[in-house]
Amino acid sequence: MSSHREAPEIAKDPVADSTDVYAFVSPDRPDTVTIITNYVPFQNPAGGPNFYEFGDDVLYRIHIGNHPPDIAPDEQGDIIFEFRFTTEVTNSNTFLYNTGPIGSLDDPNWNRRQTYSVTRVDELLGATELATGLACPPCNIGPRSTPNYATLANAAVFDLPGGGKVFAGQRLDGFWADLGSIFDLGTLRPFQDLHLIPSAAAAGVNALQAVGVHTIAIQVPISELARDGVVTDDPLHPAAVIGVWASASRQQSLVRDGATTARAGKFQQVSRLGNPLFNEVIVPMAEKDRWNAQSPLFDSEFVQYVAHPELAGLLPVLYPGVFPNLAGLAADRADLVAILLTGIPPGIVPGFQNYTGTTPADFLRLNMAIPPAASPNPLGVVGGDLAGFPNGRRVTDDVVTIELRAVAGVTYPLVDPTFTPDAAAGAILDGTSPPPGFLAAFPYLGHPVSGYDVLPLSV
């Protein structure tokens, strides 16, 4: 998974579990950047009566670093958007989420609702509350409870001062992957007959089909994100690049005292995410929760796992004879270090860079001077589309395929032109398709499926 349940402890705390981060120049408003962070993974749409929600006791943050490459990044970023949620129960005499159709965001039939505040914390200007009391939409319950769900959810897109937009609420998970295959000893469905334990060819299965998540999405003018407000159309300009990551934090202590709980202390980070699959696939299990608790600025501790990823060693073992060139590649994976930890410096990919300096840090790096692609290629930069992953990440980017191919050696010629990737490396496919229903406008991720409409899994 991108980062769904990716570490042992955070897997037990879904409300604080960040699952995906997206950052891209908004295709319909190219003077803005959209950043999306998802939490609360694997929502069964029928999971009532206590449907899914954000945590009132969780501090959700989007961090943005905009330092030029010659200055080390800040531990928490130069700009932080903080989101705090408040839950209200309007009718304490019912077990129901709603006591009739929910026709609007202030419908009295809606029993358990959330509002939130948005605060911008700027390195130089301090904290500014941008909005408070904004309504989340309800979860998509079914045609009787939440008729006209799209209208209801669209009403929860709010304008922010300065020309931005914000949304927080349930969405259809935009991540797609054949998890059942990958986690069954690294099976890649196109080659399952070549696996050490072979099986017959079969179509891929998207394990996240119809699954919901809780999304925090914000759209911000580029001028408010770039260093010193510099807006440039030169991709090689150092101010064109930002580094983005998301986090969730809980207070240091929780005391259960009979039926009462007391929380106290500073917020301690328990989850973070920049590049998809970083903690999931790169960091060893024993270190995943420690990674989650730290700032990306300490990722030098994890460089070894990027330079020599476990998966790159496994592929030639699991698929004997299929990845001979990868098997012979013993050098540090400078390509992966650049893609995931420093950004790609100028001079590697013509007309492109997303370099943030030598400090290794898991940022999702976006070059804001690259305009949106007219015809996005889901393989992003690997597919010749500079507006896609790993230049930020769009909701339609096939990050599983991109990263599998990169780990398998497809991107190593960027740093060593004498290396020839195995033919299989470029043929890897996840074997699944993206979910339907991505939106053309903010917040871009599709509306969630209702519990009533989801069919049970066949066994």
Chain positions contacting another protein, by CB under 8 A? 53, 56-57, 86-89, 92, 112, 251-253, 255, 257-267
* Distance of closest approach, residue 448 Cβ to another protein, in angstroms: 20
* Distance of closest approach, residue 92 Cβ to another protein, in angstroms: 7
* Distance of closest approach, residue 250 Cβ to another protein, in angstroms: 11
* Distance of closest approach, residue 267 Cβ to another protein, in angstroms: 7
Please state the separation of Cα 97 from the chain's center in Å. 28
Task: Return the number of the residue (89 or 455) whose C-beta is nearest another protein.
Answer: 89
- Tokens 């998540």 locate to 213
Contact residues for 368 (Cβ-Cβ < 8 A; gap 6+): 25, 33, 222, 225, 226, 231, 240, 241, 242
Please, is 264 exposed, middle or buried when counting C-beta atoms within 10 Å of its C-beta (0-12, 13-18, 19+)? exposed
Report which residue type is found at 10.
I
Task: Return the number of the residue (88 or 159) whose C-beta is nearest another protein.
Answer: 88
Task: Return the number of the residue (16 or 381) whose C-beta is nearest another protein.
Answer: 16
DSSP 23: E
Task: Return the number of the residue (48 or 345) whose C-beta is nearest another protein.
Answer: 48
Report which residue type is found at 340.
L
Cα(329)–Cα(309) distance, integer angstroms = 12
* Distance of closest approach, residue 52 Cβ to another protein, in angstroms: 13
* Distance of closest approach, residue 447 Cβ to another protein, in angstroms: 24
Task: Return the number of the residue (135 or 172) whose C-beta is nearest another protein.
Answer: 135
What is the number of other CB atoms lying within 10 angstroms of the CB of residue 106?
10
The helix/strand/coil state of 266 is: strand
* Distance of closest approach, residue 248 Cβ to another protein, in angstroms: 15
Closest CA to 98 of 89, 82, 111: 111
For residue 52, give Cα distances in angstroms to 110, 169, 320, 334, 439.
Answer: 14, 9, 44, 41, 22
- Tokens 């911008």 locate to 120
* Distance of closest approach, residue 312 Cβ to another protein, in angstroms: 41
Task: Return the number of the residue (264 or 286) whose C-beta is nearest another protein.
Answer: 264
Cα(217)–Cα(278) distance, integer angstroms = 21
Task: Return the number of the residue (89 or 459) whose C-beta is nearest another protein.
Answer: 89
Task: Return the number of the residue (124 or 264) whose C-beta is nearest another protein.
Answer: 264
Tokens at 31, concatenated: 């003077």
